[in-house]
Structure 1
Amino acid sequence: MTTALLAAPALLLLWAAAAHLRAPGPLRAALVAHGVLPAGLHRPVAIFLVVAEVVVGFAAVATATAWFAGSRPVAARAAALAVAGLTLAYAGYALLAWRATQSIRGARWHVPCGCGLGNEPLTGWHATRAALMALAALTAAAWPGAPTPSGPADQAMVLAATLAMALLFGVLPSARAHAPRTAGVQI
């Protein structure tokens, strides 16, 4: 499952990069709305983020695949650390931006997350998602080694686990925003 712990966040990075490449405006607009970056840095930061998502995402998927096949453990660990670094930076930024927008504009003001994974307003769950992705990548980097697959069943299980984790990471903020609330029960 080490491969899935690395590949799932990497797939999400690639998914976000694809969304940002298709429509770059929402990312820049979100960075402006967050009010965290100095004026003039929104466009360069947006470009840097998309490039980082593409490079780190592709490197992680490629090395995770090679690692599962029994080769390149050092490259896979380096890619896992890169994924962890990028997603930790996202977690920190999301938390900072969410708190800044709450204190500046009030709790009723919704700003877009800009993550490319949906149109939900920025919440603390965006930071939580990024932190969980970083935790998965750090776990992959710290794991002693990926097991060599013993056949198609192993490959299918890892693929299913990767896709399930990527889907769960992708929908976490949206699911939390629309979670049913009942009287006296916190979900």
Structure 2
Amino acid sequence: MSGSARRYEPMRPAQFAVAVCCMLLVVVGSNILVQVPLNDWLTWGGLSYPVAFLVTDVLNRRFGPAAARRVAWFGFAAALAVSVWVASPRIALASGLAYICAQLVDIHVFDRLRDLRWWRAPLASGVLGAILDTAVFFSVAFAATGTPWLTWMLGDLGVKLAVNVSMLAPFRALMWNLARPANA
């Protein structure tokens, strides 16, 4: 059965609000943390941002790609608005552009692979999303700034890929708990 022919649980307004708040927290927090380098290879934002893919994948699995896209777009608008105040305009622009491109790719790839083994969709979509996000973000945010952005980009990507793999366990646990009946 293709993703578009599936029936998904409808997302209630409270669930939507929680999902957008989670996305906002991850993206804004990461925009603040990306400005704090750990060393010449990594910023703190590289550790926090991959959680955005976990949020998207859980939404995609439970509520379908349309709901995940809706949360991604609302999260994009909210995070961009807040990021302008907590980060530099260049960081906010880079973050917004990288975020929406990567999230839409993640949602599409996840939906195409959702019928394979449980781990393939979140792993493949997260890897592709992380590569796209990292390339777009670091080239827009830091190119020609005199910072070691190429090494930050490589370090950030390595951490995002490692965190993406580590997010498989929480994804599986959330899927198991979300699949149980509410009165169980």
- What is the TM-score of this pair, normalised by structure 1? 0.33
- What is the TM-score of this pair, normalised by structure 2? 0.34
Identify the structure with bigger relative contact order (alpha carbons < 8 Å, sequence gap 6+): 1
Structure whose CA Rg is larger: 1
